[in-house]
Each structure stands twice: as C-alpha cells, then as structure tokens.
Amino acid sequence: MAANSDAVVNGVSQAYLESKGVKETRALVSELCRHFYTLGWVSGTGGSITIKVHDDSIPKPQQLIVMSPSGVQKERMLPEDMYVLSSSGSVLSAPSPKPYPHKPPKCSECAPLFMKAYEMRNAGAVIHSHGMEACLVTMIDPFSKEFRITHMEMIKGIQGHGYHDELVVPIIENTARESELTESLIQAIEAYPKATAVLVRNHGIYVWGDSWISAKTQAECYHYLFDAAIKLYQLGLDWSTPSHGPIHRVWGGNRSVNMAVKAGTLNLNQAVESSRRCIVLDIEGTTTPISFVMDVLFPYARDNVRKHLTTTYETEETKDDITLLRAQVRFY
C-alpha cells in the first residue's frame, strides 16, 4: 500500500489506517492469538479472531475491523500480518507476502461468518476456536441440535445468564469449507436471539461479545462448561439438569419421552414402558452407524443388564438365554 498519508482507500485515509487505534488493535489480535494457541484453540493454523477498532466518535456498525489471516501459525503472528477491513467487509489493508515456506497471505476463511456476527449482533469482537472441548461436546449426542447446561457457576460468565438459567447453544453441521457455514450460522443466530455462540459439530465454536474482553471472557466460560459436560458424561452424570444426577438413558426413538422424564411429567418406569417400540436382536448388516452402536446401544445394555438379570433370573426364558450365551462363549 502506498506510503502517502493523503491516500484514500474505500473512503478511508491512509493516515487513519496507520492511526494509534488501528495499530493497537493489530497488536492485540496477534497477542490474543498467541495466548489462544497455548489454550489449544488455534493450533494447526486453525481458528481465528477479529476485533473492531474502537473509536468513541464512530458508531460501532461503522468501525474498522482487524482480522487475523488464514492458514498461518497463530503463535508467530505479528501486528503487520493482520488484515484491516471496512465495516462492510472490504479489505483496506493486507499484509505483505513473506518468503518461502510461508504461503501467500489470505484473509481469514471465517470472514463471512465474522461479518454476520458483526451485522446481526452488533458485536465488537468474534472468536473462532478449534478447542477440543468445543469439538467433543457436539459428538456426545450426534443427533442433538443444541447443547444445554444449567446450575453451573461459570454460566454467570455468559452474557444475559445466571446460575439458575439454562444455557442453550445451537449446534450446526460442519461443511467442507468454512465459508459454506454462513447460511447455517445465520439461521442459528436468528433462531436463538439470546445466544452469544454457535457450535459447529466436529469442528469448534464461534463466540461474540460487545468487546474483545466480553468475547474472550465468554469463550473461556464456554470452554469450561463444555469440559465440565464431557467430564460429567464420563462419570455418568447429567449436566443438563439442576441436580446433575445419574443419566437415565431412555431410548426408543421418542425424544418427547426423554424430555418428559427431565420435565418430571413421567417417571422413569413410565418412560421406559412408553418407549418400548422394538427389541434389537442383531446389528449385523444394518445401516445403523457404528457410532450409534457404540454410544447408544452398548451403554444401554451395560446400564440395564444387571437389573434385567436380577428381576428375571429365575424365569425359563432368561435361563435359556444364559445357557445359550455360555455355549457361545465355549464355542468361540
């Protein structure tokens, strides 16, 4: 870009692009990327962050945007590596190419999604994390379109939420390219007006806030809550209910039964009776994903086999089943 301080790009002067506010925001983005790298949020060149250049004299929707580049080592970025965009997303300043083995500079692949958070939520900063917690928590229930958690202290760190509130984060499905997530993100933002984040299954999370401090604080709280949910799941405890008691798995293709149990309108025995639609005799040759077998069928058998044997052990049917199983064990 020309060094002439009188030069104007898309209505923005070169002098303003080199102003103290822009320089400080460039430095802040590179500093935060280094920090997020230590947290595992932006490793392997993944993840990104963008911050608006705060200026009291300029309304937030019209403020300039500093955005990290795509496909670079985030822990080695410098202020001069950042892109500066107009409020409409036009690139006003791009970094200079670096010698081999660096790739040619490219603005963040997340740019279209970042711009939607700015446009639809009047955000001051947006963080995209590839943190392991944000990825794994979307895989616990591969059919869920939401992550829900309640009665955890760190929920208070999420804008508009308190300890007793239920935090709901929408989950959208991943795509081959980041920019292809834009439409799904728009729909999630529209459908969840209270949300300050959107999870992407098998991928990560987008978090926004009024300022970079708000976005960073919330991102830390989200990751904490995701990690807590994963650990509670491993312990067999339900993170989505106030008591965080044992998980009662009621399977049978009827989500309303599960919700009724949580809501207290059905007791567990009633729910089990209501959900009995079929008996799984064999999984070989079916179209059921192996993840469903491992995550649903096997845990269900493990959780219920003791109760079944205890209550039916003296029946001829169960005795025949046990005899058959013993014969199979000897055979194999």
- Looking at every residue in the chain, the average pLDDT score rounds to 87
Q: Is the pLDDT of residue 250 over 70?
A: no
- The answer to whether residue 272 scores a pLDDT higher than 60 is no
Q: What is the pLDDT of residues 307-316, one digit of tens each?
A: 888 888 888 8
Per residue in 121-162, pLDDT (tens digit) is: 999 999 999 999 999 999 999 999 999 999 999 999 999 999
pTM comes to 0.74
Q: What is the pLDDT of residues 71-105, one digit of tens each?
A: 899 999 999 999 999 999 999 999 999 999 999 99
Report the SS3 class of residue 128. strand
Q: List the domains of the chain with CATH numbers.
A: 10-108 (3.40.225.10), 125-247 (3.40.225.10), 291-331 (1.10.720.60)
Catalytic residue flag (residue 153): yes
| Helices and strands of the chain, counted as H and E runs | 11, 11
Tokens 């799904």 appear where?
184
Position 312 scores a pLDDT of 87
* Residue 69 DSSP code: B
Q: How confident is the model at residue 280 (pLDDT cuts 50, 70, 90)?
A: low
Contacts of 126 (CB under 8 A, 6+ apart): 49, 50, 113, 114, 117, 118, 206, 207, 208, 215
Phi–psi pair at 55, nearest 5 degrees: -150, 115
**Amino acid type, 150:** T
Higher pLDDT, 280 or 231: 231
Query: Dihedral through CA 34, CA 158, CA 177, CA 203, nearest 10?
Result: 80
Which whole number is the average pLDDT over 176-204? Answer: 97
Given this model, what pLDDT does residue 314 score? Answer: 85
**Active-site choice (80, 119, 133, 153):** 153
- pLDDT of 6 reads 60
What are the residues facing 66 on neighbouring strands?
51, 84
- Ramachandran angles phi, psi of 12, nearest 5°: -115, 130
What b-and-e string marks burial along 150-180, b requiring 16 or more CB atoms within 10 Å of the CB?
bebebbebbbebeeeeebebbbbebeeebee
**Residues linked to residue 50 through DSSP beta bridges, in sequence order:** 67, 126
- Token pair for residue 296? 């649903």
Residue pair 144/169 in contact by the 8 Å Cβ criterion: no
For 164, residues 6+ apart whose C-beta sits below 8 A from its C-beta are 150, 151, 242
Residue numbering of the annotated binding site for substrate: 110
Please compute the mean of the pLDDT values over residues 242-268 and round it to a whole number: 57
Q: Greater confidence, 276 or 299?
A: 299
What whole-number distance in Å separates Cα of residue 260 and Cα of residue 218? 31
Q: Is it the case that residue 45 has pLDDT exceeding 60?
A: yes
User: What is the percentage of the chain residues whose pLDDT exceeds 90?
Assistant: 67
Per-residue pLDDT band for 26 (boundaries 50, 70, 90) equals: very high
- Give the CA-trace dihedral at 206, 208, 211, 214, to 10 degrees: -90
The pLDDT value given to residue 3: 46
The pLDDT confidence band at residue 233, using thresholds 50, 70 and 90, is very high
Look at 329 and 289; give whichever has higher pLDDT.
289
Nearest to 11 by CA among 44, 43, 46, 58: 58
Q: How confident is the model at residue 292 (pLDDT cuts 50, 70, 90)?
A: confident
Q: What is the pLDDT of residue 69?
A: 95
CA distance 283 to 263: 32
Please determine, for residue 284, whether its predicted confidence score (pLDDT) is greater than 80: no
DSSP helix/strand/coil, 148: strand
pLDDT band of 249, cuts 50, 70, 90: low
Q: Which residues have a Cβ under 8 Å from the Cβ of 190 and sit 6 or more positions away?
A: 120
